[in-house]
Structure 1
Amino acid sequence: MAFGDQPAYLRVADDLRKKIAAGELPPHARLPSQARIREEYGVSDTVALEARKVLMAEGLVEGRSGSGTYVRAQPVPRRLVRTGFHAAGESTPFRQEQADDRIIGTWESGSEQEEAGPEIAERLSIEPGDRVMRTRYVFRAAGEPVMLSTSWEPFAVTGRTPVMLPEEGPLAGRGVVERMAALDLVVDNVAEEVGARPGRAEEVLALGGVPGHAVLVISRTFFAGGRPVETADVVVLAERYRIAYHLPVK
């Protein structure tokens, strides 16, 4: 379909989008009302409404109950730096996920046993229904939530050992590599896949985002001698982050 053949609501949305980008409609400015859009562009109420819906879906505007629709201030994307593993002495869960030394972070977590579902079982090379230790994290920087993570470790590896709980015991909060070393397992490889999907309501709200917006998911697995010893999903808001990899050249 040629640009000129676009449906009317997309042409209206495109023009309003350009005005937002050019600053003619700056952050926090009220979007023209449905009646104003109808008059200015010579379109129906339905077209005006659909154009506003497009801009809302793109995260450019937001509705305020009883007040109208306003231009959202767009966040400047930050870099989420990935290096695979950070040096000993800095191997905390936060540093494991965000390798940028300039960012200081804290985290909250909770662990519990569960049965591995088919996907997690495949990632850990175990059988569905085998026991795993699941740990959920909320990572914060400057007090603001920036990342969520859920990790799973095979109970056959860590169960009934001093490092069974990632955030308790003698190596609490020291990260996967150091904890596995205490079990004479040398973590020597890490694999990551990055994908995007619509954010689940609880994820987006926990990260301070707008329901319905996309998230980036980093699915990471640590290996020791080819054996998966931990797998995790790290979740960030797509509009706020770019994933940056710093990898050695061999």
Structure 2
Amino acid sequence: MVDPAPYLVIAEELRGRIVGGEFAPGDRLPSVAELGRAHGVAPSVGARAYGVLVEDGLVISRHGAGHYVRGQEAPALLVRRSKRRPEDSPFAEGAAEQGAVGTWRHESSTAAADAAVAARLEIVEGDPVMQTDYVYLADDKPVQLARSWEPIALTGASLIVLPEAGPYAGVGVAARMRVIGVDVGEAVERVRARGATRAEASALGVNPSAPVLFVERTYFDQSNGRPVETADVVMRGDRWVAEYGRRPARS
């Protein structure tokens, strides 16, 4: 009889410890390095063991923060509502309205627009764009990702060129674009459901292929109809409900 692979042995040991109550929901589990030392194997073997438990829905992986026992409680839902002229970050405003603290991590860099981004921004493929990647957190838990692109030809000569740096950092697309005389109005969005990629699942702390809401969002200059910013937004399907339309005030 062939012995099971070491990563499967480690996975089953961890499963037993979790099911047996040694680790409670929300507890941080040993690091892959600690597993490697305990079992005399390379850290990559521990990583594969955790991969099994993540696939089984017993463990969640948090990018840069380790592995945790998945809780059984249903997370509180966040409602995403359309805002016609958000002056600050729509995410921060929406989270605050629902009693949560909205924060985000970000990283910006210049890039060459690929064919898809160029088509959405109506620029030439290869034109320089400012690309910004975001991880949004509600009460310190990741709930949303985004990647945005803005044409350098539009913003490059202004202090708004970096969305999250300088005097206009974090104020939202509408307020930033107004600095250079562009009125963007309400964003145009296309929304669909799909499964999370492995990278998205890791960043959001969900299982691979877990349902997410995917939003393709574009802001346009209201004076000439030209797109000035486009973004891909990925939201945890178990945390978000999208709500459209506005109820009239009751008399």
TM-score in terms of structure 2 length:
0.65
- The verdict on how the C-alpha distance between 1:183 and 1:117 changes in structure 2, with shifts beyond 3 A counting, is same
Aligned-residue sequence identity (percent) comes to: 37
Q: Quote the offset at 1:247 in angstroms.
A: 4.3
- The verdict on how the C-alpha distance between 1:99 and 1:138 changes in structure 2, with shifts beyond 3 A counting, is same
Equivalent in 171, 180, 185 of residue 168 of structure 2: 171
2:74 counterpart residue number: 75
Equivalent in 93, 104, 108 of residue 107 of structure 1: 104
Q: Partner of 1:121: helix, strand, or coil?
A: helix
1:195 counterpart residue number: 192
Pair 1:149-2:146 in alignment? yes
CA distance in 2, matches of 1:187, 1:176: 8
CA contact 2:85–2:185 (8 Å) conserved in 1: no
2:57 counterpart residue number: 62
Q: Partner of 2:169: helix, strand, or coil?
A: coil
Pair 1:215-2:212 in alignment? yes
- The verdict on how the C-alpha distance between 1:63 and 1:138 changes in structure 2, with shifts beyond 3 A counting, is closer
Q: Quote the offset at 1:139 in angstroms.
A: 0.8
After TM superposition, the structure 1 = structure 2 runs for residues 87-106 of structure 1, keeping only pairs within 5 Å, are 87-88=86-87, 91-92=88-89, 94-95=91-92, 100-106=97-103
CA distance in 1, matches of 2:235, 2:199: 13
More deviation in 214-223 or 97-106?
97-106
Amino acid at match of 1:217: F
Q: Quote the offset at 1:182 in angstroms.
A: 0.5
Structure label with greater radius of gyration: 1
CA contact 1:146–1:236 (8 Å) conserved in 2: yes
2:37 counterpart residue number: none
- The verdict on how the C-alpha distance between 1:98 and 1:155 changes in structure 2, with shifts beyond 3 A counting, is farther
Q: Partner of 1:203: helix, strand, or coil?
A: helix
Q: Quote the offset at 1:108 in angstroms.
A: 0.9
CA distance in 2, matches of 1:80, 1:149: 17
- CA deviations 1:184-228 (Å, max 9, x no partner) are 111123201111222111111111111222221111111112111
Structure 1 runs not aligned, ≥5 long: 1-27, 31-58, 65-70
For the aligned residue pairs, the C-alpha RMSD in angstroms reads: 2.9
Equivalent in 104, 120, 125 of residue 123 of structure 1: 120
Q: Partner of 1:119: helix, strand, or coil?
A: helix
CA contact 1:82–1:99 (8 Å) conserved in 2: no
CA contact 2:142–2:205 (8 Å) conserved in 1: yes
2:234 counterpart residue number: 235
- The verdict on how the C-alpha distance between 1:185 and 1:235 changes in structure 2, with shifts beyond 3 A counting, is same
Structure 1 residue ranges (4+ consecutive) displaced by more than 6 angstroms after TM superposition: none
Q: Quote the offset at 1:80 in angstroms.
A: 3.0
Aligned length: 187
TM-score in terms of structure 1 length:
0.65
Structure 2 runs not aligned, ≥5 long: 1-17, 21-53, 60-69
CA distance in 1, matches of 2:96, 2:71: 30
2:30 counterpart residue number: none
CA contact 2:102–2:137 (8 Å) conserved in 1: yes
Q: Partner of 1:180: helix, strand, or coil?
A: helix
CA contact 1:194–1:219 (8 Å) conserved in 2: yes
CA distance in 1, matches of 2:55, 2:246: 34
CA distance in 1, matches of 2:118, 2:195: 24
